[in-house]
A and B are shown apart, each in its own frame.
Chain A
Amino acid sequence: NAGVTQTPKFQVLKTGQSMTLQCAQDMNHNSMYWYRQDPGMGLRLIYYSASEGTTDKGEVPNGYNVSRLNKREFSLRLESAAPSQTSVYFCASRPVPENQPQHFGDGTRLSIL
């Protein structure tokens, strides 16, 4: 099992460009999450999907959109990238039932010039 797989691992964009970060999990988990990690800020939730077919905003959703394509895949889209979105992005997934740990992917390091 690969666990949670994120692509790409690194990306450099110019301001205004768009891109989609991909995330897939092979653990049959119901819930999936997107975080961004900035120095000194911990992990902040961007969007999450409690189950297939549902998505909800987290703490910092502005400038992002998500798609829960199926149970395995949860993508994060930047429609018009801004330098403030330079960060490390982590995808995570979690099984049912409640109060189980989240499992993280290796992250995508995104720089916006």
Chain B
Amino acid sequence: GENVEQHPSTLSVQEGDSAVIKCTYSDSASNYFPWYKQELGKRPQLIIDIRSNVGEKKDQRIAVTLNKTAKHFSLHITETQPEDSAVYFCAEGGGTSYGKLTFGQGTILTVHP
């Protein structure tokens, strides 16, 4: 079945630094890769997504890159702020999965002021 590996499991940075979270997946038919942010006690919320017809997408301080050949994709957050502290989940889906997503295990990001 589908499998998503996410690294690192925890990430601690100073305010203003960049943060990078990486995910690898196994299903070559996957063509949709969203990233969710979850604050403590809250619902997961979509922050950015990418489809397999592009290699990179950017939205202000957040960017995602996709390498379909290597089956990995990454989240990049620049100029981190304390309010970026949360758990981040990658996911993969698409193809014949009927909209199902397989999630990574999550990365706890802590941004120190």
Residues of A within 8 A of B (CB): 31, 33, 40-45, 48, 50, 56, 58-59, 90, 94, 98-107
B18 to nearest A CB, angstroms? 24
- Number of residue pairs A-B, CB distance < 8 angstroms: 58
Q: Is B73 at the interface (CB under 8 A from chain A)?
A: no
Q: Once the chains bind, are A101 and B46 in contact (CB under 8 Å)?
A: yes
Specify which chain B residues have a CB less than 8 angstroms from the CB of A102 in the assembled complex: 34, 46, 99, 101
Count of interface residues, chain B, beta-carbon cutoff 8 Å: 25
- Which residues 21-56 of B sit at the A interface, judged by CB distance below 8 A? 31-32, 34, 42-46, 49, 51
- Which residues 66-113 of B sit at the A interface, judged by CB distance below 8 A? 89, 93-94, 98-106
In the complex, what distance in Å separates the CA atom of A59 from the CA atom of B2?
A: 10
Sampled A-B contacts (11; CB under 8 Å): A31-B98, A33-B100, A40-B106, A43-B89, A45-B100, A48-B100, A59-B1, A59-B102, A99-B51, A101-B34, A102-B101
Residues of B within 8 A of A (CB): 1, 6, 9, 31-32, 34, 42-46, 49, 51, 89, 93-94, 98-106
In the complex, what distance in Å separates the CA atom of A103 from the CA atom of B44?
A: 8
A91 to nearest B CB, angstroms? 10
Specify which chain B residues have a CB less than 8 angstroms from the CB of A33 in the assembled complex: 99-101
> Nearest chain-A residue to B104 (Cβ)?
A42
